[in-house]
Amino acid sequence: MKFTLIVSLLLLTSVLTVLGQDKQSRKSKGHSSAVSEKGLIKVSVMYPFSEGKTFNMAYYESKHMPMVAAWLGDNLVKYTIEKGVASGIPNQPLPYMAIGIFYIKNLEEYQKAIAPNRDAIRADFPNYTDVAPVILVSEVVR
Amino acid sequence: MKFTLIVSLLLLTSVLTVLGQDKQSRKSKGHSSAVSEKGLIKVSVMYPFSEGKTFNMAYYESKHMPMVAAWLGDNLVKYTIEKGVASGIPNQPLPYMAIGIFYIKNLEEYQKAIAPNRDAIRADFPNYTDVAPVILVSEVVR
């Protein structure tokens, strides 16, 4: 009787441990891209397509975006990068070659973090593109 | 001994049931916005700002987007709606008033689902805006 009780308690403990780790792993996902966006501020840096203009995605992904992201600290919830494929309207040109998006909690904090680094950001542009981006600040409502 | 075994098995079963429900509830979250975006296709419907033009966000959020989303079925992973706040570049006009984004698995399936409903989508435009959208199809690379 005692032995069965011990075995069953051990079993129960191991199951609860697995359950706990499972919850933990979901919690730590908060900093990956698997977070709800509602209520966040988006800063979308959009690089317009135009014939003959270039964009180096490898550099943008490995150097430029991580550099800017590092300046944003805890205010940055996540960032995403997308590659323009086509216009969604037949026979229309591709609107943007690439978009980098910072999902942040607070716009003022973002501006404070970016201001002293604006020149460094601009100086990095020629390393990956020859177009000037359009930048949209928006609020995720759903 | 038999009694303890039965009690411990019951306990174990109930813990496993809780664990199972927990996994299930996370699975069903696939349709909320808390999913990783990498590898997905984004269809971004962007409504340009221009002086005097209007956009009815309440109608867009409660009627237009749910209508289109319903046509996309299982191909739709999630959709988001954002409200343009400002340009991220000082002294530049707001680029877009609003953006609706469908995150889908397959572009061909999306086009097949939208094609027979294109007229209904266009007919709904005047119910919430007087501008024509720019539509970008892109691939989430990070």
> Is B60 at the interface with chain A, CB within 8 A?
no
**What predicted TM-score, i.e. pTM, was given to this entire model?**
0.78
Contact A34 B35 (CB under 8 A): yes
Tens-place pLDDT, residues A6-42? 555 555 555 445 444 444 444 444 344 567 899 999 9
Is the confidence at residue B26, as pLDDT, over 60? no
What chain B residue is nearest to A103 in terms of C-alpha separation? B82
Which of B4, B95, B135 is nearest residue A134 as measured by Cβ atoms? B95
Integer-rounded Cα Rg, in Å, for chain B is 22
Chain B residues with CB under 8 Å of A16 CB are 15
| Inter-residue contact B59 to B117 (CB < 8 Å) | no
Q: What is the pLDDT of residue A36?
A: 83
- What does residue A135 show for φ and ψ, rounded to 5 degrees? -120, 125
Q: Which two tokens stand for residue B47?
A: 């409504």
Q: Testing the interface with A: which of B38, B94, B138, B141 to mutate, by most A Cβ within 10 A?
A: B138
B residues 62-81 lying closer than 8 A (beta carbon) to A = 65, 79-81
Q: What is the pLDDT of residue A22?
A: 46
Alpha carbons B83 and B86: distance in angstroms, whole number = 10
Contacts of A1 (CB under 8 A, 6+ apart): B1, B4
> Is A127 at the interface with chain B, CB within 8 A?
no
3-state secondary structure of B76: strand
| Inter-residue contact B92 to B122 (CB < 8 Å) | no
Single-letter residue type at B38? K
One-character DSSP codes across A70-118: HHHGGGEEEEEEEEEEEESSTT---SEEEEEEEEES-HHHHHHHHGGGH
Q: What percent of chain A has pLDDT over 70?
A: 76
DSSP tag of B142? -
Tens-place pLDDT, residues B67-94? 999 999 999 999 999 999 999 999 999 9
Chain A residues with CB under 8 Å of B86 CB are 137
- What does residue B137 show for φ and ψ, rounded to 5 degrees? -100, 125
Quote the Cα angle for B140-B96-A63, to 5°: 40
Contact A33 B32 (CB under 8 A): no
> Is B6 at the interface with chain A, CB within 8 A?
no
Q: What is the pLDDT of residue A35?
A: 72
Which of A43, A61, A135 is nearest residue B141 as measured by Cβ atoms? A61
Tell me the average pLDDT across B29-43. Answer: 74
Place of tokens 């800063």: A43
Q: What is the pLDDT of residue B28?
A: 40
| Inter-residue contact B131 to B53 (CB < 8 Å) | yes
Q: What is the pLDDT of residue B36?
A: 83
Alpha carbons B30 and B44: distance in angstroms, whole number = 20
Alpha carbons A128 and A132: distance in angstroms, whole number = 11
ipTM: 0.78
